[in-house]
Amino acid sequence: MFVRTPAELGAVLRDRRKKLKLDQSTFAKRIGVSRQWVIEVEHGHARAELGLILRALDALDIRLDASTEQTPARGVTRPAVDINAIVAKARKKKA
Amino acid sequence: MFVRTPAELGAVLRDRRKKLKLDQSTFAKRIGVSRQWVIEVEHGHARAELGLILRALDALDIRLDASTEQTPARGVTRPAVDINAIVAKARKKKA
DNA sequence: TAGAAATGTCGGCGCTCGATGACATTCGAG
DNA sequence: CTCGAATGTCATCGAGCGCCGACATTTCTA
């Protein structure tokens, strides 16, 4: 499962928590946050703290893998060749 | 690369940013944050906002994969069988 | 059908994020 | 060596997080 948005991550957390038969209260205590926090995160709260999120994932034995592979359809940053030229240009432009 | 701590994630971001030959200012503008934010996150800031982190990863074409596979050495949650019994017990105990 | 458990919502509060702008330090090109 | 770019540091400030405690709603079991 690939995670791109806070909502997706929230869904992952919720599914996994339910699979482990944990209720929000126990889960919250286990990772050291309030139940309120669990609720909001599971609902896709975008401004949750990174550290707490990682703790939550860890508590549910979810591994996060960061890879640099390309999703062809999303071709946004695809320079690949003349980076030097771009840099030089940026240097001149004095952004 | 597996990410377990904010520091690890910061390192991933920094490495990737440098590989793409971006400086902090340009990077910050690209994802809509301040340069200060980039600095702190790359240093492992634990309380950064989830949404901004995801934007940063996206801007660098880094995909996050959440998997439920077991890291054998961390065998914490390994019930697998009589969850029902545990639940029943917990019900009785009225923790 | 109760009745409890789980989940979601509300108001209030302390604390720190993230932004801004200026300055210091490091590093590389010339 | 000199100049500038890149990175790191500092102080300030408004806004929102995460917490608490109570209550509302949904979802189960007995």
Does the pLDDT value for residue B76 go beyond 80? Answer: no
Indicate the DSSP class of residue B9.
Answer: H
Query: Residue B56 and residue B53: Cα distance in Å, rounded?
Result: 5
Listed in sequence order, the DSSP H helices in chain A are: 6-19, 24-31, 35-42, 50-59, 83-93
Phi-psi region of B69 (alpha: psi -120 to 50; beta: other; left: phi over 0): beta
Are A49 and B49 inside 8 Å of each other by CB?
yes
What one-letter code names the amino acid at A43? H
Q: Considering only alpha carbons, which residue of chain A is nearest residue B62?
A: A68
Q: What is the pLDDT of residues A28-70, one digit of tens each?
A: 999 999 999 999 999 999 999 999 999 999 999 999 999 987 6
Are A77 and B70 inside 8 Å of each other by CB?
no
Q: How many CA atoms lie within 13 A of B67 on its CB side?
A: 11
E strands present in B1-95: 2-3, 63-67
Share of chain A above pLDDT 90, in %: 69
What Cα–Cα distance (Å) separates residue A74 from each residue in A44, A77, A78, B77?
23, 9, 10, 37
Radius of gyration of chain B (CA): 20
Query: Residue A39 and residue A52: Cα distance in Å, rounded?
Result: 13
Average pLDDT, rounded, for chain A: 79
ipTM of this predicted structure? 0.79
Q: How many CA atoms lie within 13 A of B41 on its CB side?
A: 27
How, if at all, do strands B63-67 and B2-3 pair?
unpaired
Are B65 and A1 inside 8 Å of each other by CB?
yes
B26, burial (CB in 10 Å: exposed 0-12, middle 13-18, buried 19+) = middle
B48 sits within 7 Å of strand C by its CB: yes
pLDDT of residue B90: 37
Share of chain B above pLDDT 70, in %: 73
Does the pLDDT value for residue A76 go beyond 80? Answer: no
Radius of gyration of chain A (CA): 19
Nucleotides of D under 7 A from a protein CB: 5-11, 16-21, 30
Average pLDDT, rounded, for chain B: 79
- Residue A94 contacts B, CB cutoff 8 Å: no
